[in-house]
Amino acid sequence: MSIRRQAFQIITGVFAKHGAGEIDTPVFELRETLTGKYGEASKLIYDLQDQGGELLSLRYDLTVPFARYLAMRGIVNMKRFHLARVYRRDQPAMNRGRYREFYQCDFDIAGQYALMLPDAEILAMLDEVLTKLGLGEFVIKVNHRKLLEAMVELSGAPLTKFKTICSSIDKLDKEPWEAVRRELIDEKGLSVETADKLGRFVLLRGDPQTLLTQLISEKVFAGSKAGEAALQEMELLAKYIKELGATKNVSFDLSLARGLDYYTGVIYEAVLIGANLGSIAGGGRYDELVGMFSGKNIPAVGVSVGIERVFAILEEKAKDNPYVRETQTEVLVATIGSGLIGEKLALARALWDVDIKAELVYSENPKPQKQLSFALENLIPFIIWLGENELKDGVVKLKCLYKETEETIPRDQLIQVLHERINLYKSELDQGLVKYAKLEESKQQEEEGGEGRKQGESRKQGESRKQGES
């Protein structure tokens, strides 16, 4: 849970830094609220029926409930974030971070603002979130819904087939173009000429500014007013994300075709490079979704981080890290000798009262070694030792386990000293300076054992080759 807690803290910290307030919505909605919003994905909605006969469904995402929230309250502008569980009647795939119940972390900006400014901030914020999470190399793919429509139109395909064509194009992150081309011809009824024209569009990707320059200079979308207007929006977006310092991980990818029906403008999706996990975040502009509930359109743009896939990556990376903690305990209150349980409880209470995270071993007269082992196993940085001599002298012994130092502190100075030591510990922890001698010894032994195994295997292979040559 410590990894999940840290991930949530990073994400919500970035969300709050960008000025968003937090909201919540019910876990279920009227079925009519959700139907017709998700395209082919609508089949994954969980349907319910309550005792009064109303048709209800578990929420599929957090965007549609947010739009309904704005419409019902008559809100015309809002910047919000929302962390909550959503539900999909899907086939679970644990190794790919796919579940039927999982968390999403959403950030949205609703309201009438200057073109592309909210979109650029959301992309920059997503880049910041994924960088701070330390997941590894990633790319944020960006496209525009109107460019997809223009590609279909200029390829000679009827717009009535737009959704079904996009569902095929969306497979290009998993399948080669030849497989998608075959599906478009054999299953979707496109001619060979139309499919090939479409292929010349969807295989284009690269640096936003470079690709935009190419598309404009070669007049790739000439003849489509919607396509040319979308290119102008993408130019503005590229300019803004450059000024926000967020271009490094962004790719303009004309094959990106997110399947949700409510998108109207820029769309984006983040994936880890070299990972077989699908997208870890996605979103886009949905200017007409609120109007489906209120009759009044409110422009909006947002992003959703698929936190369960993030957890899977972070937990895998932390699997062999002995310094990952399940708790945040800062101090273990320990005793030497018998009959000191009352003093131990009183001291623990005093620490809790000043927000110091403290624990004690649940035994009336625990042995010192048992308490020391407990602190080391749980990577608790400090132990307060309390014995009869310390009580008599009005002091305690404060032991720092990761530095292996001990000092005598007067009781009336303990809280002040502890706060100073804990603040120093947190600073050193952030800098990677907190090391426990026993853990470092174990790591070294494992590394040496691994090297020994490799050398042994190499020796055996060499001997086998020699025998084969003879």
Q: How many residues does the chain have?
A: 470
pLDDT (0 to 100) of residue 470: 45
Mean pLDDT by 10 residues, the chain (470 residues): 84 96 94 83 83 85 95 96 92 71 94 97 97 93 95 92 90 90 94 94 94 95 93 97 96 87 93 84 95 94 90 78 83 96 96 97 94 94 96 97 96 97 93 83 60 55 54
Cα 434 from Cα 428, distance rounded (Å): 6
Q: Rounded to 5 degrees, what are φ and ψ at 304?
A: -130, 125
Cα 428 from Cα 432, distance rounded (Å): 6
Q: pLDDT by residue (tens digit) across 277-294?
A: 778 999 999 999 999 999
**Does pTM top 0.75 for this prediction?**
yes
Handedness of CA 353, 436, 327, 318 (dihedral sign): positive
Cα 383 from Cα 335, distance rounded (Å): 10
Please list, in sequence order, all residues whose beta carbon lies within 8 angstroms of the beta carbon of residue 206, skipping any fewer than 6 positions away: 251, 252
The identity of residue 109, as a single letter, is I
pLDDT (0 to 100) of residue 16: 95
Please list, in sequence order, all residues whose beta carbon lies within 8 angstroms of the beta carbon of residue 156, skipping any fewer than 6 positions away: 191, 193, 194, 197
Q: Burial, 1: exposed, middle or buried (Cβ in 10 Å; 0-12, 13-18, 19+)?
A: exposed
